[in-house]
Structure 1
Amino acid sequence: MATVTNVSGAGRDPRRWWALAALVASMLTLGFDMTILNVALPTMARDLGATTGEQQWMADAYVVVFAALMLPAGLLGDRFGRRRMLITGLGIFLAGSLLGALADEVNWVVAARAFMGVGGALVTPLALSVLPSLFGPDERTKAIGVISAASALGLPLGPIIGGWLLDHFWWGSVFLVNVPMAAIGITACVLLLPETRDPASPRVDTLSTALTATGLGALIYAIIEAPTRGWGDPLVLGMFGAAVALIAALVLRERRVERPMLDMALLADRGFLFNTLAATLVMFVLSGLMFVLPPYLQAVLGNDALGTGVRLLPLMGGLLVASRAAQPVVTRFGPRAVVSAGLMVLAFAALLGTRTTVDSGYGFTALWLSITGFGFGFAVVPAMDGALGALPADRAGSGSGLLMTLRQVGAAIGIALLGSLLSGAFRDRLDVAGLPAGAADTARDSVVAARIVAEQAGSAHLAASANDAYVHGMTLALLVCGIAALVSALLAAAFLPGTTAARRTGSPRPDVAAHKADA
């Protein structure tokens, strides 16, 4: 197909809505893949014997690679063709899903998730950037709304689809379900999408990409391994030191190059900086909670996988409702008030969640999950809008890329830090007195492992201790979430601009508008 350089007539292509359907399938697959694994982790921990740290790596491998490669992936599409790179990304995602479905041990699952992260990093920015080649200005907003809704819909669908698959098939089915979806997306992209590119885009900086990936990887490794090895372990300290050095080198390099991939100078803008911090904090809390909640619902409360997925809906429901209702509230009260209030609600919900006990039952959990979802929605939408609104038109692309990258970094650190805090508290609290050394070590790996050991040993005391230890660890994680949200609310109230910043020149690019809608 010929390269599209002028899209003025592309909005009337009769195939455009079919092409949009292909993009929707791609984004929907990525959307529910972000949450489907969380429901599967307790089952995978049981079948693969995965420790809490290994479960963190299964979740974080995707997010770290995704965050590190999203910016260079977008530039690859601009330079070599967005349709070509989008198809490549879907192919990589499909191959990674097959590898995950066939894996029979933890390291292969982690490798598969990292491989899927490469594909996801290509698909996400490029699915948005091809919209201008398909739709004219009069239809573009509607198309952006459709594709963004597909991404949002994937979040609550993930736990339900994952739960149903786990109740009927083996855990590899949560990977295998991606294969037909990705194959449909590839076929439709080949047949329906025109090729577009922007030869004037910045070149991919290989060194900056490597610094980002290795710096994030070292940081996440240190956080995940610290509870097991000890925070003073030489390897952990060395990895922390390496992470600081690599990230500092990245910042220095990006400040010196003429056209940086990560435009750090944008952080000097108060509106962009504090809105970005708020949006990143929300991803930190959301991702951390989605990691610690399924084992509580499944192992402690005794729900099956499908029941666990359904019981996460109050969180997702509150998030989706509030995210759609946020804009009118911002119009009336201003973004600073709404972001601050959303973070205060989030802090209240997390602190309320710290009152959860083993005997609380699901009703209390559903209550604070619903409030948590509302806090998320009312904080993240105006924060995203404020951050993007603070960007001048000529830096909209680099600014939106920096914002989305930092959000993914927040997600990775949330899983690593909150998961490690929970893991350390669980190991310290669990009573393994009277168990053989090997069984005691196995029980300390995770609440799932402890319940299996308790069942094999016929020990009701160990089962009760495992439940108590896990709830104790979850309480500490929620306490950290509450304190972080409270501090962020105070910072937002003190430093956020009272009104949304207007762009200095021009209007938002369609891909930037899509990032707003996808908040």
Structure 2
Amino acid sequence: MAEQPHVTGLAATMTIVAMGLGYSITAADPTILSANLAEVRRGLEFTPATASFLATLCTLTLAAAVLGAGALGDLHGMKRMFVLGVYGSIAFGVLGAFAPHVSVLIVARGGLGVAFAFLLGLSLAIVNAVFPPGRRGAAIAAYLGAGHALAVFQPALGGWLTSHFGWRACLLVTPALALLTLVITVRYVPETSRDQRKLDVPGILLIAASLITVIYGLTELQGGFNIGAVALIMLGLALGVAFVRWELHTDAPALDMRIFRSARFNAALTAGATFNFLGGGGTILFAYYLVTIRGESPEVLGLLLIPAMLIASAAAVGAGRAVARFGERAVLVAGLAILLVGMLMLVALDENTPIAVLGIAVALNAIGGAVVQTPQSTIMMSSAPPELGGVVSAVKPAVGQAAYSLGPALFALVGTTLFLRDGRRKLEGSGISEEQARDALQVAHGGVPNPAADGAVLDPEQARWVVSEATDSWLNAIHELSLIMAVVPAVAIVVAMVLLRPRRDVTASVPE
């Protein structure tokens, strides 16, 4: 393998900017679409079910393609494959913005997810490859900080464009930024060394099918427990087992499974799954508290996220310096501890809690994730042999996407279970059925009562009582849920403390 050229000076700075831009696009684009989906739906006139599918399609195809993107980067050059992803982001982004029919938009969103797999799967690997070992940790921290900072204002820009120029304008944010990424990448980023092994097509197809099936099943589970979603998840897990078996027996695996023998790698992977899980689930919980309990506009959460993400950007950069001073283990555990505190803060929420308190919890969730992500990235990439940098870099978002999808599904299922347990007790002896209570809640939040509901529609006094009692029950559920979910970062802290134990200095025992 040829010696890898390293970047210095202006090229180093612009490489960080280009890779950070690529990373930020993949994070912000799904939010832009989700925030403006109602306008898109009105413009193209499609059903709510299609809207739900569109909202998750890009994430699904990204997860399915990301390991293949990493493998192609190792084989054909990471810069070349990253640029291919940028071209795809421009082409499919423009196609979506000018889609004449929803079917065209579906094709565009699916293609955009595949393009994003190359951006997200290779940006970290490129930074790791083109910076010399002594500067790698700081470069990765700067890349993550740039990604967080550049992602903050894209959803707000998309919303502003929608309100002034229509929904098509918001979908042009991604291709415009991708074009800027392309210019910088072509000018300043060097090509990476290439591996000579064969492409493991069966393995890539198996893991793609596994990830897309599991994540789609988890997404379906967010609407409540159903057999179809569970069947999809079980099928995805079976395909995952088949992938592992194939990788262990093939001569040229897409992912060398020996990397999972590394305790450091597994500790980093666990920490990454933890912050993604809490990121996905916590955001749903924050939104539900604000909209349903407090009656606030959904935009309030977006406003709270702006300072939170800016602070998180600075925290990611600071974490790089902290790793150099205190070590990866200490910083990783500190980030997980921040996530733990943020989750425990939700126990104090009530109907009149100052918004600033929730803002602190939102900020801790973002900051904890940013602090964890820096040592997680450096640990994972230092565990990767040079010829597998792209694939190992892709493992990070693959696991992250699955954990991020698991968060809302599990938070919703556990939270609903806790709510119903508390609500049933309060309905006993009231003469109000659970179905009538659900109808009262649906009407209170802008819905239409179920015509097949059991019994007559509740009178206004009973309906007001149900809504009042439901608020109390949901607050109790949030308190208990936050305590239950706080176990996740607590366990991750223990895992990090055990698996990242300082290695003994064996040099003293080696004879001269």
TM-score normalised by structure 1 residue count: 0.73
CA contact (8 A) 1:56 1:224 kept: no
CA distance in 2, matches of 1:144, 1:405: 19
CA distance in 1, matches of 2:481, 2:196: 42
Paired letter, 2:269:
T
CA contact (8 A) 1:83 1:196 kept: yes
Residue by residue over 1:266-320, the C-alpha shift from the partner in whole angstroms, topping out at 9 and shown as x without a partner, is 1111121112111221122113333443454456545556543221135324433
Equivalent residue number for residue 452 of structure 1: 446
Structural mapping, 1:132-171, within 5 Å:
147-165=143-161, 168=164, 170=166
Change (3 A) 1:418 1:132: closer
Equivalent residue number for residue 260 of structure 1: 253
Which is further off, 370-379 or 297-306?
297-306
1:211, distance to aligned residue in structure 2 (A): 1.4
Which is further off, 98-107 or 64-73?
98-107
Unaligned runs of 5+ in 1: 503-519
Residue by residue over 1:188-226, the C-alpha shift from the partner in whole angstroms, topping out at 9 and shown as x without a partner, is 667x47894755343332222221122122223333334
1:121, distance to aligned residue in structure 2 (A): 0.8
Structural mapping, 1:77-476, within 5 Å:
77-80=73-76, 85-98=81-94, 100-101=96-97, 112-127=108-123, 147-165=143-161, 168=164, 170=166, 173-186=169-182, 192=187, 196=191, 200-226=195-221, 230-231=225-226, 233=227, 235-294=228-287, 296-297=289-290, 301-304=294-297, 307-331=300-324, 333-391=326-384, 396-419=389-412, 421=414, 451-453=445-447, 461=464
> Secondary structure at 1:312's aligned position in 2?
helix
CA contact (8 A) 2:343 2:485 kept: yes
Change (3 A) 1:407 1:22: closer
CA distance in 1, matches of 2:384, 2:173: 39
1:63, distance to aligned residue in structure 2 (A): 3.0
1:495 maps onto 2:503 in alignment: no
CA distance in 2, matches of 1:302, 1:105: 35
Residue by residue over 1:349-393, the C-alpha shift from the partner in whole angstroms, topping out at 9 and shown as x without a partner, is 212214323332412201222333343344332333333344455
CA distance in 2, matches of 1:330, 1:197: 26
Change (3 A) 1:143 1:396: closer
Change (3 A) 1:248 1:279: same
CA distance in 2, matches of 1:104, 1:276: 42
Residue by residue over 1:27-73, the C-alpha shift from the partner in whole angstroms, topping out at 9 and shown as x without a partner, is 4433432544564568889998987x988755543333223322321
The structure having more radius of gyration, on CA atoms, is 2
CA contact (8 A) 1:346 1:376 kept: yes
Change (3 A) 1:369 1:137: closer
CA contact (8 A) 1:61 1:117 kept: yes
Change (3 A) 1:471 1:398: same
Change (3 A) 1:285 1:110: farther
CA distance in 2, matches of 1:475, 1:154: 33
Identity of aligned residues (%): 23
1:404, distance to aligned residue in structure 2 (A): 4.0
1:68 maps onto 2:64 in alignment: yes
Change (3 A) 1:355 1:20: closer
Paired letter, 2:377:
M
Equivalent residue number for residue 509 of structure 1: none
CA contact (8 A) 1:317 1:373 kept: no
CA contact (8 A) 2:120 2:397 kept: no
1:90, distance to aligned residue in structure 2 (A): 2.6
CA distance in 2, matches of 1:470, 1:166: 34
1:19, distance to aligned residue in structure 2 (A): 8.2
Residue by residue over 1:237-286, the C-alpha shift from the partner in whole angstroms, topping out at 9 and shown as x without a partner, is 43233122111000111112233222222111112111211122112211
CA distance in 2, matches of 1:250, 1:313: 40
How many pairs align? 486
CA distance in 2, matches of 1:348, 1:304: 26
CA distance in 2, matches of 1:415, 1:207: 31
Paired letter, 1:349:
G
CA distance in 2, matches of 1:96, 1:470: 41
CA distance in 2, matches of 1:343, 1:63: 25
1:474, distance to aligned residue in structure 2 (A): 5.3
CA distance in 2, matches of 1:276, 1:98: 35
Equivalent residue number for residue 507 of structure 1: none
CA distance in 1, matches of 2:286, 2:101: 24
Residue by residue over 1:66-119, the C-alpha shift from the partner in whole angstroms, topping out at 9 and shown as x without a partner, is 233223213334545656544432333234434554679998876654332101
Equivalent residue number for residue 509 of structure 2: none
CA distance in 2, matches of 1:50, 1:284: 29
> Secondary structure at 1:359's aligned position in 2?
coil
Change (3 A) 1:201 1:64: farther
CA contact (8 A) 1:42 1:295 kept: no
Paired letter, 2:156:
I
CA distance in 2, matches of 1:307, 1:165: 19
Equivalent residue number for residue 485 of structure 2: 481
CA distance in 1, matches of 2:70, 2:155: 29
Change (3 A) 1:415 1:213: farther
Equivalent residue number for residue 510 of structure 1: none
> Secondary structure at 2:171's aligned position in 1?
helix
1:136, distance to aligned residue in structure 2 (A): 9.4
Residue by residue over 1:451-474, the C-alpha shift from the partner in whole angstroms, topping out at 9 and shown as x without a partner, is 23379x998848767866766665
Equivalent residue number for residue 30 of structure 1: 26
Paired letter, 2:497:
A
Change (3 A) 1:197 1:227: closer
> Secondary structure at 2:486's aligned position in 1?
helix
Paired letter, 2:245:
L
